Amino acid sequence: MAPPTEVLTAERILEATEEVLRRHGPAKATVVDVARALGVSHGSVYRHFRTKAALREAVTKRWLDRTSEALAGIVAETSRDPEARLRAWLLALFEAKRHKAGDDPELFATYTTLAGENSDAVDEHLEDLTGQLAEIVRAGVEAGAFTSADPLVTARAVFQATARFHDPGYHREWQQPGVLDEFEAVVDLLVRGLRP
């Protein structure tokens, strides 16, 4: 139980929700469990998240945003050349997903279930990631390092072509030996295709 003097923020509720989801699984976790973990009434939780569905969506978004925010840092490294940034971005995405899936498989399965229920949050996340990639492609075109008639179309193609290395549906493949070589082979081909 948290000390009752601590202010109940949305972030604290989301942290507790993740913990409750980890403990009870997505099918059984309730708002009452979350309130109990925080030592507050369920009414207090509902003041921040109007429904259980809204709470589940928010915790899903938080999980997805953690990845996007880490990647945004690579997009912002404008002193690095675009090809190096593109490779680093794709590798960081793969590593983030691979670690989420491998280090805590139960929580990963939980979030995969939640992602299936919250397709709007997932669509936003994918838009966000594609937008980040488009920024790198655009920088590459401006620097004369890449060619692309439409950086957003090209970014989507790069994102889709690397799906095996970030789509949760492939998480079993990520623990196979040789998967990093496969990743390299796909990225090399795409980077070559981007060069003028």
Q: Give which of 113, 111, 150, 151 is closest to 133, Cα–Cα.
A: 151
Applying CB under 8 A, the site for a second copy has a residue count of 22
- Note whether 37 and 19 are within 8 A (CB): yes
- Quick one: which of 18, 136, 154, 171 contacts a second copy (CB under 8 A)? 154
Q: How far is it, in rounded angstroms, from Cα 29 to Cα 23?
A: 8
What are the tokens at 16? 């507790």
Nearer to a second copy, 53 or 189 (CB): 189
Q: How far is it, in rounded angstroms, from Cα 79 to Cα 155?
A: 20
Residue 194 binds a second copy, judged by CB under 8 A: yes
What minimum distance in Å lies between the beta carbon of 130 and a second copy?
12
Element at 63 (helix H, strand E): helix 52-75
In the window 161-180, what residues touch a second copy (CB under 8 A)?
161-164, 169
* The one segment of 25-33, 85-93, 124-132, 188-196 that binds a second copy by CB under 8 A: 188-196
Positions that interact with a second copy (CB under 8 A): 153-154, 156-158, 160-164, 169, 181-182, 185-186, 188-194
